[in-house]
Chains A and B, each alone.
Chain A
Amino acid sequence: MHRCLSILLLLALLAPACSRRDGSSRWISQAREANLEADRAIRRGDGESARKALVASLEQPVPDTVNPRDSRMVKQDMCFRLSLVEMEAKQPEKALEWAKKGLSLGRQQDLFTANLYVAMGGAHEALGLEVQAAEAYHQALKINETLLNQTLENEETP
């Protein structure tokens, strides 16, 4: 009886730890695989498959153990890619939607936010919305300048 209780106790303690680790790494793996699938699809000119792979990945629930900053970056990068896929498919409205969706996840002074502003600028421009396009590009360039300065500073530091 005591041995059974000890085994049950051990399983109770180990099970959540295992599932926790599996959940976050599985989420990262599926996102990575979706990107690779999208790469392959785009290379063969199959925008539809690229879209499907990225959308399916975006719809996956993010485990609680994944840091929100990490999940935001992963999702924003996918939204950026989806925006480019729609631009390629001559669907600027949809491209704009994806850019907006990506930016709704959070705006930071980082590469992913700047990319989304670039995509938004491109979509606005394709829709003939020159002012909005200029504003989006301007936002992108502001972040880009900050990042470029940081990179140059890092390069100068021995």
Chain B
Amino acid sequence: MSDKEKREAEALARALEGDGSPEEIPTEALEAAGLLRAGREDSGLDPARQREILDKILPVKKKRIPWLRWLVPVAGVAGVLFLVMTVPILSKAPQQAAVVFPAPPRELLMAQAQAAREKDLKGLEKKMQKYRGEMYASLAGKYAE
């Protein structure tokens, strides 16, 4: 640190402490000390004056409605609750279109006719088993989509 810088630092310290006459302290040091003092909490500004200044520079603050700050979250929660209750009702509509089952094969229909004419229910059920498998495969494919 040069001698000049040392002198300036000492002058700033004196200015901060309030020592010495203003004539002895360089202008730059006085300005810097003023700014630093004003920034301190114990700057001595009257609280009433502080509020007055604050009201002047922040006019919007005056107009704030206390309950308004709760309105946004409360409205948000109410909206979500409304959706939770109404979405299941509204989304009930989309019913699946009926599944197009494979056409019954000729052998199955022949077995059905035979069951009606010759009372061969077991023969019909035997043929139905294969068709039933295809039917459930179609259903499972459709309803899993």
> A128 vs B119: C-alpha distance in the bound complex, in angstroms?
14
> A35 vs B136: C-alpha distance in the bound complex, in angstroms?
10
Tell whether B54 is near chain A: CB-to-CB under 8 Å: no
> A39 vs B130: C-alpha distance in the bound complex, in angstroms?
12
> A64 vs B94: C-alpha distance in the bound complex, in angstroms?
9
> A115 vs B104: C-alpha distance in the bound complex, in angstroms?
12
Q: Is B91 within 8 A of A118, CB to CB?
A: no
Cβ-neighbour of B98 out of A28, A32, A67, A111 (below 8 A): A67
> A116 vs B97: C-alpha distance in the bound complex, in angstroms?
24
> A115 vs B126: C-alpha distance in the bound complex, in angstroms?
13
**Among B5-13, B26-34, B57-65, B107-115, which stretch is in contact with chain A?**
B107-115
Within 8 A of A (CB), among B80-112: 80, 83-84, 87-88, 91-92, 94-99, 101, 103-106, 108-110, 112
| B-chain residues with CB within 8 Å of residue A9 when the two chains form the complex | 79-80, 83
Q: Is A67 within 8 A of B99, CB to CB?
A: yes
Main secondary structure of the interface of B (DSSP, over half): helix
Tell whether A81 is near chain B: CB-to-CB under 8 Å: yes
Within 8 A of A (CB), among B112-144: 112-113, 115-117, 119, 121-122, 124-125, 128-129, 131-132, 135-136, 139-140, 142-144
Question: If A5-B77, A12-B83, A12-B87 touch, does A144 touch B98 (CB 8 Å cutoff)?
Answer: no
What does the 1/0 interface line of A117-143 toward B look like (CB < 8 Å)? 111011001000000000001001100
- B40: shortest Cβ distance to chain A, in Å? 36
Tell whether B47 is near chain A: CB-to-CB under 8 Å: no
- A44: shortest Cβ distance to chain B, in Å? 16
Closest to B75 in A: A5
Tell whether B20 is near chain A: CB-to-CB under 8 Å: no
Within 8 A of B (CB), among A58-111: 64-67, 69-70, 73-74, 77, 80-81, 84, 87, 111
| A-chain residues with CB within 8 Å of residue B84 when the two chains form the complex | 8, 12
> A21 vs B9: C-alpha distance in the bound complex, in angstroms?
78
- A151: shortest Cβ distance to chain B, in Å? 5
> A11 vs B78: C-alpha distance in the bound complex, in angstroms?
15
Q: Is B109 within 8 A of A148, CB to CB?
A: yes
Within 8 A of B (CB), among A20-70: 20-21, 24-25, 28-29, 31-32, 35, 39, 64-67, 69-70
| B-chain residues with CB within 8 Å of residue A66 when the two chains form the complex | 95-96, 143
Q: Which 10 A-B pairs have the closest CB atoms?
A: A69-B98, A16-B88, A32-B136, A67-B98, A140-B116, A12-B84, A137-B116, A8-B80, A12-B83, A24-B143
